[in-house]
Chains A and B, each alone.
Chain A
């Protein structure tokens, strides 16, 4: 027997081995016990112990035999898996506005390219499951004032815009540019927004798409879109292109019809500023409809806080306030106060200072400029054409200038900005053409340029401040130019046909427009040449005019010619405007480029002339009292 083995003694006792057992030896763990049979039928008895003398009834005690596996034996493990009920939180999304086209209607739409991604090769699949390789998508972010969890989750759980728009339910003529996706996403989440992209970058399209998505998401039900009257057809065209399934209702017709349209629960109602003011004034308070979103196009229309238009626009009941304008500041940064008040981000009558406006701009203004976002757009080539006045013009100009200055000097301290403006206007008119002889160096240059453009089949747009100048040009330009006129004097019904003719007629090479009517909202990207016959008071409006041609969709470079007559008021104005760009860039941020809006302060206007008044035996410099308002010419 090995030394490590157990041995049995005579009385059947098992005795452990003398030497130590190895670790893990199961036999070694067997306990040392003596076995004998014993009955488990136990009996319980009660014994009197003296303390139970008060009991009247003898307690009975019984025993019961149970299996060892019975729970009552208490020998099986008491633990079993138990998990408390898991609480959950949930969020249901509102039903969106359902207007998907049926599949067969979609198939009928020829010429529409659905946005779809590339097919993925098997070999690329592994990469695709790596999230870091995912194509950059525009995700919606919760706005900074979305405090509740439900609000924040609402935005976080929306699909990326690219996905939303690639679905068959949202057909687009073509895929938006990346910056447009960002603009759409930004608008979607903003209760208050000023989209101030430079002209031609697609503010209309971004707005329409954002409206479309908000309707779909159930966030809005009724939209009021306000725009200048000439732009109604433009919006109708854009809605048809970018939201074909969305019913757009234009407020027009007689009073009865318009009253009915105001009350109809249409998703998008389009109205011009004049009708809005007129109808709103006629409605009783409880008749005035409420909107989920109000959009003001060319929102600089409400820049004057006290105007009827501005007050009416601000009084429309709305949950979201958007404004669109390429020129948020035309004359003074203070014009943005009214826009901020309309957007309900400052209190009524509030006048934020420059720093506050910068902060507000950061949160509520989105402005991108062409040179930052449209690197693929064909260039805009600006050339300043310096011209010498003809002798007749020079003579008339000098004469007017001298007489004008004398008159201003004679006014002494009574002089005001208005007086100086009148002189400036007169001098500018003479640089256009001499009123007596009709001589015009600008006309000569224009005619020469147009001869070349017409010969090559090109098209040009010309802008002037004065309808008189436009009519004068129309009479004198050669027939080969095929000039067409588009200004405030042209009846509204004739304007669309004129634009169509300019576009489609190969013999129409020149469209003569005034800044007032031609500068806003029209798409003329088939014109390769732009002439600024005379300069506007601020470059923002000039740029807006130029951007009728130089905008998305343009295929070739656009050549912009600005006529400047040497040694005249035009040179001096241009110099002062160049020096003033920085102020507006400071307010609106880096999105602005050199096309910032400006104006001339009174002192700068006076600085255009060396004005003196007699003072004793000598003279003294004269300047006006602080001016209260700027003057809009034309």
Chain B
């Protein structure tokens, strides 16, 4: 389980998302912010492109493995300022939950019975880690009711675009 923040002042959120680049594979980025969205640290991966054998043998499990396990775990291991929570907009990244010691939630369109409301949006959790809902309910109380938690993910995507342009 994640370590709860020592105080609400030091609460840190991780925003994790990925892009698929034509002919270059997948690249993921993680932005850690304070509770007001001010950036603390950003990490992104180099593009990872599976070869043909991997595509064939992983089949439909390839993308969840790449995003959920390989890239997400790499970023969460490498980041210096560890977040207390991870938020994403890609359901594949929820698959990182069994491999990391942090609560992970994915934004949902609409709502379900299991959804957790954080800010303006509803989030879903990994099916095997429903106990994360308590942690996210605590987080929801710390954030403004109108907090837009999709916006930092837009920033991550823009930063990934910029990084890939610089590397091209």
Contacts and interface: CB of A to CB of B under 8 A. Distances in A.
Contacts of B40: 92-93
A91 B78 contact: no
A89 B152 CA distance: 18
Nearest to B158: A156
Interface stretch (B93-101, B103-111, B130-138): B103-111
A86 B74 contact: yes
Interface string B21-58: 00000000001010011111111111010000110011
Contact of A96 (B38, B79, B151): B38
Nearest to B161: A156
Contacts of A126: 109-110
B20 interface: no
B80 interface: yes
B43 A164 contact: no
Interface in B111-163: 111, 120-122, 144-146, 148, 150-152, 154-156, 158-159, 162-163
A125 interface: yes
A167 B33 CA distance: 13
Given A153-B162, A157-B31, A164 B36 contact: yes
B166 interface: yes
How would you classify the secondary structure of chain A's contact residues: helix, strand, loop or mixed? loop
Nearest to B155: A157
A87 B154 CA distance: 22
A153 B42 contact: yes
Nearest to A117: B146
A299 to B, nearest CB: 31
Contacts of A118: 146
Contacts of A167: 36-38, 144
A83 B70 contact: yes
Contact of A169 (B36, B80, B152): B36
A159 B120 contact: no
Nearest to B77: A88
Nearest to B71: A86
Contact of A157 (B78, B107, B159): B159
A581 to B, nearest CB: 42
Nearest to A149: B166
A131 interface: yes
A216 interface: yes
Given A120-B120, A131-B154, A158 B39 contact: yes
A152 interface: yes
A119 interface: yes
A588 to B, nearest CB: 32
A91 B79 CA distance: 10
Given A79-B53, A91-B41, A129-B109, A163 B151 contact: yes
A119 B71 contact: no
Interface string A97-119: 00000000000000000001111
B145 A90 contact: no
B121 A125 contact: yes
A166 interface: yes
B120 A125 contact: yes
A90 B79 contact: yes
Contacts of B75: 88
A90 B42 contact: yes
Contact of B43 (A79, A88, A116, A158): A88
Interface in A604-621: none
B91 to A, nearest CB: 13
Contacts of B166: 149, 152
Contact of A159 (B41, B43, B152): B152
B159 A137 contact: no
B38 A159 contact: yes
A166 B71 CA distance: 33
A482 interface: no
Nearest to A130: B109
B144 A86 contact: no
B45 A88 contact: yes
Contacts of A169: 36
Nearest to A119: B145
A136 B58 CA distance: 41
Nearest to A120: B120
B87 to A, nearest CB: 13
Interface in A313-367: none
Interface in B73-89: 74-75, 78-81
Contact of A88 (B37, B38, B78, B109): B78
Nearest to A137: B151
Contacts of A156: 155, 158-159, 162
Contacts of B79: 90
Contact of A91 (B37, B42, B46): B42
A149 B161 CA distance: 11
A160 interface: yes
B39 A160 contact: no
A404 to B, nearest CB: 67
A12 to B, nearest CB: 41
Contact of B37 (A128, A129, A163, A217): A163
A156 B161 CA distance: 11
A166 B46 CA distance: 34
Contacts of B163: 89, 149, 153
Contacts of A119: 145-146
Nearest to B154: A131
Contacts of A120: 120, 146
5 tightest CB-CB pairs across the interface, nearest first? Answer: A117-B146, A167-B36, A159-B37, A90-B43, A157-B39
Given A90-B43, A93-B39, 16 more contacts: A81-B58, A83-B70, A88-B78, A93-B40, A93-B41, A116-B144, A116-B146, A128-B121, A129-B108, A131-B150, A152-B166, A157-B156, A159-B38, A159-B152, A167-B37, A169-B36
26 contacts: A79-B53, A83-B48, A88-B44, A89-B44, A90-B41, A91-B42, A92-B41, A116-B144, A120-B120, A126-B110, A128-B120, A128-B121, A128-B150, A129-B108, A131-B150, A134-B148, A149-B166, A156-B155, A156-B162, A157-B155, A159-B37, A159-B152, A164-B37, A167-B36, A168-B36, A217-B38
Interface of B: 31, 33, 36-46, 48, 53-54, 57-58, 70-71, 74-75, 78-81, 107-111, 120-122, 144-146, 148, 150-152, 154-156, 158-159, 162-163, 166
